[in-house]
Amino acid sequence: MTRSVETLALAHSEWTARQALHFEKVEQLVGPHRARRSAGISHPVHDFLFTYYNFKPAQLRRWHPGYGVALEAGSEYAEFSGYRVDESGGASVDRSVLERRLPTVEFVWNLLNQTSSRPAVLGCFGLHEWAMVYRGGEEAIRHQSVPLRLGFAGTDAVVESLPLKCTHYDAFRFFTPDAAPKNALNLIRDTQIDYEQPGCLHAGMDLYKWSFKLLPLVDSDLVMACFEHALLARELDMRASPYDLRDYGYSPIAIETPAGRAEYVRQQQQLAERAAPLRATLAERCRDLLGR
């Protein structure tokens, strides 16, 4: 049973200004992807945020105030699923949405708290991308238009020279059959929550996934902050990958060298620190929704 979340009322001038700023930010970040898609052009780095997570740009563009916020003169929200408009024209997320999605809120809250309770484990060097190619030949290449920087033999040699210590199931599940047994952990979906840790690049990227899944219960400002973080993490992820992305403007982080590994850890630490307040804010939103 959840307690009532205190309602915050936003004047029409205030929420429409926030809505306009949101539209502007989404267009800035998502506009290039939409233009490429219209032209039939793929991007090996940025497309991931729309194909793997499978959240459409149009969905991201819609601004949500979050549960417990009433929008003055918000009748336009009557057409959006999950909203109610009262007799005065004020719009807000209907309580039935919260009640129906409490299990998801509970799961996300537990996952975020478990993740943040553990120390950050650094120094995986982004080897998950290499492990997805290891001894897999052409069939394992995930970006057919982008060459391997070290070729197949060189890529395999890197995997064989460094320890695999991935803690994120949704990266591990794409390892080739020859790479999976090399990982320090045999990860499975049922125990995902037991191994997530705040140093993991993908755990930080997934803050976007979890915040988006909680829409419209959480606000779009938080979702966009998580999206921006996911974009930065994805860029580091691919710069340290076995793919040569220089034609796309990304200089490689050569994790096969000591200097490259040191640079990866430095940037991994920065991203972990950047993700921490986002994770804490999202967990706080979940706690409020659960009434704890």
pLDDT computed for residue 58 by the predictor: 87
Q: Would residue 54 be called left, alpha or beta, if left means φ above 0 and alpha means ψ between -120 and 50 degrees?
A: left
pLDDT computed for residue 1 by the predictor: 43
Nearest to 179 by CA among 195, 161, 154, 160: 160
pLDDT computed for residue 98 by the predictor: 97
pLDDT computed for residue 142 by the predictor: 82
Q: List all residues 6 or more positions away from 137 whose beta carbon is below 8 Å from its beta carbon.
A: 152
84 is written with which tokens?
């109610």
d(CA 140, CA 273): 33
Q: Give the residue extent of every domain in the chain.
A: 8-121+193-290
pLDDT computed for residue 55 by the predictor: 87
d(CA 137, CA 139): 6
C-beta separation of 105 from 289 below 8 A? yes
pLDDT computed for residue 182 by the predictor: 98
Q: List all residues 6 or more positions away from 219 whose beta carbon is below 8 Å from its beta carbon.
A: 64, 65, 66, 69
The series of mean pLDDT values per 10 residues for the chain, 292 residues long, is 67 97 95 92 93 88 96 96 95 97 97 98 96 92 89 97 97 97 97 96 98 97 97 98 96 98 98 98 97 91
pLDDT computed for residue 56 by the predictor: 86
pLDDT computed for residue 36 by the predictor: 94
